[in-house]
Structure 1
Amino acid sequence: MAYNEQLANRVRELLIDREDVIEKEMFSGICFMVDHKMCVCVSGEELLCRIGKEKVTEELENGNCRNMMNNGRLMKDYVYVEDIAINNQKKLKYWVDLCLAFNPLAKSAKKKNT
């Protein structure tokens, strides 16, 4: 699974003080689960952010991100962030903070019975 390890390390730096972070491979990259919920992912060269429908609308108007589509379906709480919007640690922190702010409101994924 190829993803930008340098970007993943930058995200790790921002989450290092949290005890509720688990890394999991998904979305063709590495996802950072917070409180057992997908929070932010490094997918290929991009950042996938779960920020909630309202913030998605706001950030799409600001530019530097695009909707996430999954099998032709719009994922309303997620955006992919362009590299120019995360090219320094202050900008990356902005996006990670948006993800962390939405995380308590996010629904957990349904557990699969195996």
Structure 2
Amino acid sequence: MAYDAGLAQMMGEDLDGHMGITSKKMFGGLCFLLNGNMVCGVHKDGGMFRVGKSREAEALAIEGARPLDFTGRPMGGMVSVDEDLLADDQRRAILLQMAMENASSLPPK
């Protein structure tokens, strides 16, 4: 896998204690899911958060966040973040809260 295992561990620790959290290899990295719905993950260039389309603009206003565009087209409701943002506890916590709220609003898979 081409992602930073330390960043994956940090994100996993952020989610520790939340019921329904699992991890899965996706997008060439490791993703964390709540009841089968993606919350966040790490990839070779940093990480990603599924904040939902309604909060995408709010998430993109955070320094270090940009549209997620693995395919060359932005994936609505998802943001990609650099390693500096992931290392910042405050900014990471804000995006993680948005992503958890989004995943919690979706039916379990």
How far 1:70 moved relative to its partner? 4.0
Is residue 51–residue 59 contact of structure 2 (8 Å, CA) maintained in 1?
no
Judged with a 3 Å threshold, the aligned counterparts in structure 2 of structure 1 residues 57 and 17 are, in CA distance, closer, same or farther, namely same
Q: 5+ residue gaps in structure 2?
A: none
Q: 5+ residue gaps in structure 1?
A: 110-114
Q: Deviations over 1:19-62 (max 9, x none)?
A: 20111000111000111111101111411100011221123234
Is residue 10–residue 89 contact of structure 1 (8 Å, CA) maintained in 2?
no
Q: Give the number of equivalent residue pairs.
A: 109
Distance 2:84 2:11 in 1: 16
Judged with a 3 Å threshold, the aligned counterparts in structure 2 of structure 1 residues 107 and 44 are, in CA distance, closer, same or farther, namely farther
Judged with a 3 Å threshold, the aligned counterparts in structure 2 of structure 1 residues 107 and 70 are, in CA distance, closer, same or farther, namely farther
- Give the TM-score normalised by the residue count of structure 1: 0.82
How far 1:103 moved relative to its partner? 0.8
Structure in which a larger fraction of residues adopt strand:
1
- Give the TM-score normalised by the residue count of structure 2: 0.85
What is the aligned partner in structure 1 of residue 19 from structure 2?
Answer: 19
Distance 1:63 1:91 in 2: 8
Is residue 34–residue 104 contact of structure 2 (8 Å, CA) maintained in 1?
no
Moved over 3 A (4+): 106-109
Identity %: 24
What is the aligned partner in structure 2 of residue 40 from structure 1?
Answer: 40
Distance 2:55 2:73 in 1: 19
Is residue 22–residue 36 contact of structure 2 (8 Å, CA) maintained in 1?
yes
How far 1:106 moved relative to its partner? 4.0
Indicate the structure (1 or 2) with the bigger Cα radius of gyration: 1
